[in-house]
Amino acid sequence: MSEEKLPKQSENFSEWYNQLIQKAELADYAPVRGCMVVRPYGWALWENIQKALDGRFKETGHVNAAFPMFIPMSFLEKEKEHVEGFSPELAIVTIGGGQTLEEPLVVRPTSETIIGHMYSKWVQSYRDLPILINQWANVVRWEMRTRMFLRTLEFYWQEGHTAHETAEEAEEETLKILDLYTDFAVNEAAVPVIPGIKSEAEKFAGANRSYTIEAMMRDTKALQSGTSHNLGQNFAKAFDITYLDRNNELQYAWTTSWGVSTRFVGAIIMSHGDDQGLILPPRLAPIQIVIVPIYKNEEAKQKVMPVVKQLEKQLKQFRIKVDDRENVTPGFKFNDWELRGVPLRIEIGPRDVENNSLVVAQRDIPGKEGKLFLSMDHIADQLTTILDDFHNRLLQRATDFRDSHIHKTDNYEEFKNIVQQGWAYAYWCGNAACEAAIKDETKATTRCRPLDQEKSEGKCVYCGESAEYRTYFAKAY
């Protein structure tokens, strides 16, 4: 670990983010431009995200499968809007085994096409529906401007693909997954998100409707953190996913797709981190508690280490690490684990052993205020409560920050100022020309129209025409 300090968030948020990922050993730059190597600490965080989501998918009846990463070019061309949306980002294989391929193969940017092809083979009757499949995979999109975790040429994600009998079932599935993503973000990652519907311009290529969870980062930019798409019958018609219905008539299926990627690691870094480094939500942190034994000589070590080993056994229900490195000082260790965002640090010295006590430092509360002096009795129960409180504080802090940087406005001049350092919540008529003009003039895009909003009467912040809903506008990653 480098001992050079991180840049301050307030001075250079982008550089703070880039340096922190490397110093905390989450990821490193790969030799191919725009690719990253996810290091063990970063992968452990991603594994915990996977576990939390995968459990939720299985509870709602979804099963996992795996589909090929090579897709015939002709598959993408079957859905016009889809190929237009993705064509600038495609990586295409034209040579295999030293031979020019008869048909170019696309390296998977997303799997709607190949999965649509397979579903057309598997679905014959209404009895074959619904199909509820998810896959954990890597995908490739040839992005021009990249940043680790947020936008890389290759990234990791889950993509769910479902097929249904009716339009109502497909919409219910799309919204069920949106709720599942919201629950995960709030209750596992302590990231407060706003669920809503995307505009036509911002929706997924080939979808009827796209829903999103949008989060505010600590530089006030928005991050699209997960999406759920109602594909209608677009892909069913392109790939002939038909079934005999209950009246023995041939119908097209209704399909959905949805995904969360390693971008969510970026959401965690930028929602919670501070000038000292990461602050990881305890339910996802690779290490929840680090124990730092403190002693100055061999005699003290012989007193402290047996208690540390005993405590480690006692706390097996937590993801725990004993930092018994001999070649660095306790102060270095404290800074190191603060940088890596470990929620709780336990300090044990000879005096603590004599008093049957220990010191717990909480990563999110700096200095003496964050230190708790606890008895060793019932320590596991105490730590469970402390970690739950930690999660709740992180969530509250992120929510308060977000809410204090969202401003309702009906005035375009005011709007232009708001989106320089926050989100504007304004009426928009739904006209794509207004949306494009706002983006051109302010760099702010429509993030989503929140789902819990009632219809009302207003005037578009840009053109003044009548509008029924307010929409969030912000600069975004």
Cite the beta strand spans of 276-328 per DSSP E.
289-293, 320-322
Q: Are residues 383 and 418 in the same domain?
A: no
Q: Are residues 465 and 328 in the same domain?
A: no
Q: 175: Cβ–Cβ under 8 A, 6 or more apart, which residues?
A: 211, 228, 451
123, 232, 242, 285, 398 from 245: Cα distances, Å: 11, 17, 9, 47, 48
Q: Are residues 313 and 364 in the same domain?
A: yes
pLDDT for 1 equals 45
pLDDT for 3 equals 61
Q: Are residues 316 and 444 in the same domain?
A: no
pLDDT for 85 equals 76
User: ∠ at Cα 337 (331, 343), nearest 5°?
Assistant: 125
Assess if residue 397 is contained within a domain.
Answer: no
pLDDT for 86 equals 81
Assess if residue 398 is contained within a domain.
Answer: no
Q: Are residues 344 and 433 in the same domain?
A: no
Last residue of a domain, one of 332, 359, 389: 389
Domains in the chain: how many in total?
Answer: 3
Q: Are residues 87 and 125 in the same domain?
A: yes
Assess if residue 277 is contained within a domain.
Answer: no
Q: Are residues 88 and 232 in the same domain?
A: yes
Taking 70 as the pLDDT cut, the residues of the chain under it are: 1-3
Q: Which of 184, 181, 185, 213 lies closest to 198, judged by CA?
A: 213
Residue 45 sits in a domain of what CATH number?
A: 3.30.930.10
Q: Are residues 202 and 296 in the same domain?
A: no
Assess if residue 6 is contained within a domain.
Answer: no
Residue 440 sits in a domain of what CATH number?
A: 3.30.110.30
Q: Are residues 453 and 343 in the same domain?
A: no
Last residue of a domain, one of 389, 414, 449: 389
Q: Are residues 217 and 366 in the same domain?
A: no
Q: 148: Cβ–Cβ under 8 A, 6 or more apart, which residues?
A: 18, 21, 26, 27, 29, 36, 266
Assess if residue 51 is contained within a domain.
Answer: yes
Assess if residue 130 is contained within a domain.
Answer: yes
Last residue of a domain, one of 210, 243, 272: 272
Q: Are residues 122 and 183 in the same domain?
A: yes
Domain of 439, in residue numbers: 406-474
Q: Are residues 443 and 383 in the same domain?
A: no
Torsion of CA 353, 357, 363, 368, to 10 degrees: -100
Assess if residue 399 is contained within a domain.
Answer: no
Check if the beta carbon of residue 180 is closer than 8 Å to that of residue 225. Answer: no
Assess if residue 3 is contained within a domain.
Answer: no
